[in-house]
Structure 1
Amino acid sequence: MRHFLENRPGLAKLAGEVARFGSVGALAYVVQLGVTNLLWALTGLPVMAGQVVGTVCAIAVAFVGNRFWTFASRARTGYGRETVLFLVMNGVGMLIQLGCQAFSLYVLGLDGPLAQNLAGNVVGVGLGTLFRFFSYRTWVFPEQHAPEDVPDPDGTGDGTARRSA
């Protein structure tokens, strides 16, 4: 397997990102499960509200881990931009998760703890995770382009534009 990955550096890099993303996601998932279930058990918070609060806590953990570890070698496009895009993509991911939760609860009528956890914390998190990984790699933490990949608008070859007098 090592020889296979050594001959395919792009695939090896993707495998590393998937592994780091999975580690960060596992930690965020534990936070999400713990907070959600504690809120349900200790406060009597409604199912959907508990799911939202738990997911928001997991999003905070995931941002730190993904920005500073999973995608640390990618382009830094500005803390504010990355934060906003990360939150937007996680909002979409949370909607995917809540959609699964709502379908189970309101369409199928499954409202027990096992059904709540399977719908929101297994199926919903799984589908949301696939979306998040794709969106983080594509929009939030894009590839860092080598200087030779930057367009040279004036043909100087040095990556700087000449000023006209």
Structure 2
Amino acid sequence: MGEKRTLSSRLRQLAGELGKFGTVGAFGFLVNVVVFNLCLRTFELASVRSGVIATFAAICCNYVGHRYWTYQDSDKSRVRREVTLFMVFSGFGMAIENGVLALSHYGFGFTSPLADNIAKNVIGLGLASIFRFWSFRTWVFRTDPDSSAGRLLGLSAEEKRENRRMLLK
């Protein structure tokens, strides 16, 4: 392969990454829904409080899945930075997800358990997932250009310099 990767190789890589991200996300979704409904129905907590607890439980599960599977080839030399960024961006995702729930529940008055689940676990989670995918691959789990994965991906010299500059920040 030459210095530059082809569009088709980049799309294949993106498709594989999206597949893994989606699989981990599906498991996190199950955790999120189960914990949300457990808090809402069994413990009779408020909707947004239940949503925050459920999202936090899913974030913890998702970190493990993304760290050790989706982005297993990312730079492992700066784990503290990675965890911090993961939590910050996951927190923004949590705000998106539960902001949609709060708007639906308190702003529009859709207060049934079904409406809460649709607002939080369909609309909110969908928007938050798009944000998380972008932020995780862009800022949290960066591939070291000198690793075997970086060489396998065929990063160009410019991409290697840019990644190295970002890693050293």
Fold shared, TM-score > 0.5 on shorter chain: yes
Residue aligning to 2:33: 33
What percent identity do the matched residue pairs reach? Answer: 39
1:5-37: CA deviation from partner (whole Å, max 9, x where unpaired): x97211111111000000000000000100110
Residue aligning to 2:106: 106
Matches within 5 A, 1:12-51: 12-51=12-51
Shift of 1:75: 2.3
Question: C-alpha separation between the residues in 1 aligned to 2:42 and 2:88?
Answer: 30
Q: Secondary structure of the equivalent of 1:8?
A: helix
Give the unaligned 5+ runs of structure 2. 1-5, 148-156, 163-169
Name the Cα RMSD after superposition. Answer: 1.8
1:66 maps to amino acid? H
Using the size of structure 1 for normalisation, the TM-score is: 0.83
1:39 maps to amino acid? C
Of structures 1 and 2, the one with the larger relative CO (CA 8 A, separation 6+) is: 2
Using the size of structure 2 for normalisation, the TM-score is: 0.81
Residue aligning to 1:81: 81
Shift of 1:142: 1.5
Q: Secondary structure of the equivalent of 2:119?
A: helix
Q: Secondary structure of the equivalent of 1:45?
A: coil
Question: C-alpha separation between the residues in 1 aligned to 2:132 and 2:92?
Answer: 8
The size of the alignment, in residue pairs, is 146
Shift of 1:77: 4.4
Return closer, same or farther for 1:7/1:92 CA change in 2, 3 Å cut-off.
closer
> Is the 1:77–1:141 contact (alpha carbons within 8 Å) kept by the matching residues of 2?
no
1:112-143: CA deviation from partner (whole Å, max 9, x where unpaired): 01110010111000000000000000000123
Residue aligning to 2:69: 69
Give the unaligned 5+ runs of structure 1. 1-5, 152-165
Compare CA radii of gyration and give the structure with the larger one.
1
Q: Does 1:127 align with 2:149?
A: no
